[in-house]
Structure 1
Amino acid sequence: MIRVALPLALLLASCAPQASTAYPTVSVGDLNTAVGQGQVVLDVRTPAKFTEGHIASAVNLPLDQVQARAAEVPSGQPVYVICRSGARSAQASAILKKAGKDVRNVGTGMNDWIATGYPVIR
């Protein structure tokens, strides 16, 4: 067996606590409850898709702008992130979590919101 000595700094770095990049994924039912409580909802679809139908209280912040505008997202409260199916909202949630935001990814997105019969603004 060959043993390789690691530099002390590398060993210490590997033991240091790491900031969590995990965020919860919630259902549209959870989102509906949050909307009723006045929680912040970010819709990360394109402006064109947003205008085709969105949650009344949602704010449109397209995925390609999330990194640059993360400071505009409220801190100290849950922020629910939604897209069409959950893929872009997961990406946005990861970006916002790294920026220190308390995010909730809506895993099944607007597809499920609409299929469930929750209201949309067109």
Structure 2
Amino acid sequence: MQEVTVNQVPEDAQLIDVREADEYSEIRAKGAISIPMSEIVGRVEEIDQDRDIYLICKAGGRSRQVGEYLEQRGIDVINVAGGTDGWIAAGLPTEQ
């Protein structure tokens, strides 16, 4: 699985936030789409596999686990190291 830093995520990336809904509603990377880790199995079809798939969580652990799950199913993904915490610390755009 490829991994990038928060600063390497393209502005128009397909960014999937795998944190739970309450975490996502507090603050998130601008443009991130919520598909919680607990719902990923039933919502895989919502992910556009024709575009690069960037996964983000709080710090990078859950997104790595989801990435491993998706890659076992033949879906290539890119994990965002540092997660939303790193995104905020880097001063990148957020939404609430």
Q: Taking structure 1 as the reference length, what is the TM-score of the superposition?
A: 0.74
Displacement of 1:93 after TM fit? 0.7
1:43 matches 2:17:
yes
Unaligned segments of structure 2, at least 5 residues: none
CA contact (8 A) 1:55 1:121 kept: yes
Q: Which residue, out of 20, 26, 46, partners 1:52?
A: 26
The structure whose residues are more often strand, as a share, is 2
Question: What residue is the counterpart of 1:29 in the other structure?
Answer: 7
Give 1:108's aligned amino acid. Answer: G
1:111 matches 2:85:
yes
1:1-122, aligned counterparts within 5 Å? 23-31=1-9, 34=10, 36=11, 38-122=12-96
CA distance in 1: counterparts of 2:30 and 2:90, whole angstroms: 16
Displacement of 1:76 after TM fit? 2.5
CA distance in 2: counterparts of 1:73 and 1:98, whole angstroms: 15
Give 2:80's aligned amino acid. Answer: V
Displacement of 1:67 after TM fit? 1.8
Give 1:30's aligned amino acid. Answer: Q
Higher alpha-carbon Rg = 1
Residue identity (%)? 30
CA contact (8 A) 1:74 1:101 kept: no
CA distance in 2: counterparts of 1:91 and 1:46, whole angstroms: 14
Question: Cα RMSD over matched residues?
Answer: 1.1
Displacement of 1:99 after TM fit? 2.4
CA contact (8 A) 1:53 1:120 kept: yes
Q: Figure out how many residues of one structure are paired with residues of the other and give that number.
A: 96
Unaligned segments of structure 1, at least 5 residues: 1-22
Structure with more contact order per residue of length (Cα contacts < 8 Å, sep ≥ 6): 2
